[in-house]
Structure 1
Amino acid sequence: MTTRTDAFRFSEFGAPHVLRRETIELAAPAAGEIQIRHLAIGVNYIDVYHRQGVFAAQLPLPSGLGVEGIGIVTALGDGVRNFNIGDRVAYVGGPPNGYSTYRNLPAARALSVPDALHSETVAALVFKGLTVEYLIHRCVPVAKDDTVLFHAAAGGVGSIATQWLKHLGATVIGTVGSEEKAEIARANGCDHTIVYSREDFRARVTEITGGKGVRVVYDSVGADTFAKSLDCLAPRGTLVSFGEASGPVEPLNVASLGAKGSLFVTRPSIAHYTADRSEYEAAARNLFAAIEAGIVKAPNVSKYKLGDAAKAHEDMEARRTRGSIILIP
């Protein structure tokens, strides 16, 4: 049996206008899959990368878009034993088909959601929250009294990270693009804010730390910040480069890491930190518990109708949004 679904797809890489809304017949879920009716869909910068063709080698066209959402299970494929029709589940990853009213999803990517959590809150937090979970708990575990630099501290990931890092007892230095965003970062617990449009963040980090540098820099900006971020690290510190919003990073002279203090650099992907089912579920339990305890709250949430997905992309790329973006079918 097929299900009619409205879904955004694209047949060429490019600007938001390449997105086309189509009504298609969705086949019954295959073995090991579930079918869900979306309640809310998360929008993330990786969606922009997919649309632009940054990962063209892994994304054959035509393609759908969207790797995060929450919905109600409406059908089960053969062999699915751990979910039932009517269950509410969230997901991160899997084939990019999230911008849709209904979709099929590998059951291995589905996560049971506690009843106490609101669907829109989960959609606003699950991808970004699981990103923060692996960054600060498993990629470079942050401990009490560590000092960290987090770029884009008022963004969706940055806002969640700042809240969680403060709960861990870290000192958080955050870069932001405006005084308005600095206020947001401070409200989330940022100890020191640096408005990069008028301040040299490398000089300010040196000043704030008394020349010692920070244990870790979390950098999703890329080209504009990478080189100076290395200079912000204390000896044996780690630069975690997990995005490139300003463009790809220039090739790195590995020998320079020794000269700068035996530094470490990593380019992690959430896919590799959630590939194992047990690790994925444990990370989700950690995140959901943090949400229920009030440690992590949804940052400013911008809601768009599903039909306005292209507009959501335009606003996100123009930095007209703050916090999280979700689509409502």
Structure 2
Amino acid sequence: MPLSEQDIYKFLQNPINERFNSELIDLLIKRVNDLCFKECQVDRIACTLNPMCTRRFLLKLRIKNGLGIEDLPKFCYSVHKGVVERYFKGKTVVYRPSDSYLYLIDFLDIYFHENYRRLNKFLTFKNWDEVDKIINEKIKQGEPIEYFRTQNHVLIKYGDYLHVIFLNEGYAICNANREKIESLELIEGMLKLYAHLSFSEVEIEMNSEDSAVDVQISVPFDVASQVSEDYTISTEEEDEEVEIENHNHYFWRKFPKDLFELSDLCENIHIDKNVYNDLLIKLSINTRTHNYNDKNIKVPLRFRDLKKIIDFLDYIYNKYYVIHLDLV
């Protein structure tokens, strides 16, 4: 029976084998380098259409660990950048470049080509006045850009896609989707970015004591009181494909399902009433979900998970809170 992945994992995790781990890792590094710099790039057509590592994840490994451009297989990286650029321009690509890592200068070259060198300098030195001028000029030209700054990141929503600049690390992630969110700062930043766009009066607070970001949204009493206590789901509503536009249908049929799904993504969900009898929904979110992998370890919160939470907040706010304000 040949050596398996699990055999390698067990060997590395066994403290008795610690003296041999470096030798094993050296063998692995040599194999990765041979794959990247020799075997894969020999045939440029194959490297372009069918790279030897799935979606060029070995580029991500190098970029995220602080290696410079001189330590990357140059042709592979140029193809990778080209795929991101073609996808941004709406051209045909071999694969959708979700969660694609680029050096900051190359990210800016694609999305802010006219001023990318100046913008790179201003971002590096955190000259926010000049950064704002360049991005706002792009917005005035009709580009669908929204952005939000945190201490260590710039989150950019360009059309339907989210990109995140890591200022200290000097790289960016394009089309963030399945990648894990590594800090509360990023969670808070993404929530505030979308809050500015869609649900400006939702409360968002950093809860350092509980290592979470707390989000609170309310359903006014005037709306919540319209939900019948003895509501019966009709035959029409039993059809999942039928869109029913009333409070009873949502709060009796869909609301419990939404909360159940969110309970897997949030640390806590708390439902209460205030002195005005408004329904209060408080979500506490951290970097871990309540889903578990096969080793019984909590699965990290991903960008697409947080987007599900944001979609819920967007729906509640614009369906039930804003309408209430219009009626007042």
TM-score bin (small chain): under 0.3
More helix by share: 2
TM, length-normalised to structure 2: 0.28
Structure with the bigger RCO (C-alpha within 8 Å, sep 6+) is: 1
More strand by share: 1
